Amino acid sequence: MDYATSDMGVPPLERSRERGSTPLGATADQGFKIVVVGGFGVGKTTLVRSVSEIRPLNTEETMTQAGEAIDDIAQVRGKSATTVAFDFGRITLDARNVLYLFGAPGQERFWFLWDRLFTGTLGAVVLVDTRRIDDSWYAIDRLEHHGTPFIVACNDFGGPVRAGGDVREALDLDPHVPLVDCDARSRESGKQVLITLVQHVKNRYADPSARAGLPRQEFV
């Protein structure tokens, strides 16, 4: 689990008084979510940090071992609860629209919380380390299951570059899913990843014939 924040020891109320992030403008009224999923150490936090206008923050959700977010806090007393932590950053798009970018772990327990946290997500970026491609299968399977549009971005770790065709084949990736290379440390590269995702989502909904055959996101 990769925690991005370091000043964990400060009491919450004290810390909230010295809030580091810039406030949004008064007219902001529409929040969007984009989720970056990937295995441990693949660069999710780095990508969020490179494009975020605020220092990335970290928060968590709690669930019981049964996999449900807890219905009554009393249930947790004396039981072991599991927490899923995630990082996030923020991008102000214009006077009304603000985008939140979440870096989320790809492991199995995280997906129990997907519907609770990430319903209504604009789309997802599956961040891949081409040396550990197997880490990404589960995330891709889950995103397809949830009907969430996504792209795959291969983070460049400076190793030998694997040809795009190889990666697509290794991931058994649908031909219509964009596959891009990126450097998660670079703001410009991170920005291009997000643009590729949103363009992909827009194309999907702009073309009625394509839309008919696609799974629809369910809004609860």
Partner 1 sequence: MSGPGRNRPGRDDAPDRLYTITQGRSRSDPDNPFDLVTLVVAESEPTAGMQSEHVAILKLAQSPTSVVEIAAELRLPVSITKVLLSDLLAAGRISARHPRRPAITDPDILEQVLVGLRNL
CA dihedral 212, 148, 191, 40 (to 10 degrees): -150
205: contact with partner 1 by CB under 8 A: yes
Tell me how far CA of residue 67 lies from CA of 46, 56, 84, 109, 112, in angstroms.
28, 27, 11, 7, 6
Cα within 13 Å of Cα(199), Cβ side: 10
String marking each residue 69-98 x if it binds partner 1 according to CB under 8 A: xxxxxx-xxx--x-x-x--x-xxxxx--xx
CB atoms within 10 A of CB 80: 7
Least separation, in Å, of the C-beta of 88 and partner 1? 6
29: contact with partner 1 by CB under 8 A: yes
33: contact with partner 1 by CB under 8 A: yes
16: contact with partner 1 by CB under 8 A: yes
Residue 39 contacts residue 129 (beta carbons within 8 Å): yes
Nearest to partner 1 of 29, 169 (CB atom): 29
Report helix, strand or coil for 84: strand
131: contact with partner 1 by CB under 8 A: no
174: contact with partner 1 by CB under 8 A: no
40: contact with partner 1 by CB under 8 A: no
Least separation, in Å, of the C-beta of 18 and partner 1? 10
Options 41, 157, 162, 217; binder of partner 1; rule CB under 8 A: 217
65: contact with partner 1 by CB under 8 A: no
Nearest to partner 1 of 81, 177 (CB atom): 81
Residue 84 contacts residue 60 (beta carbons within 8 Å): yes
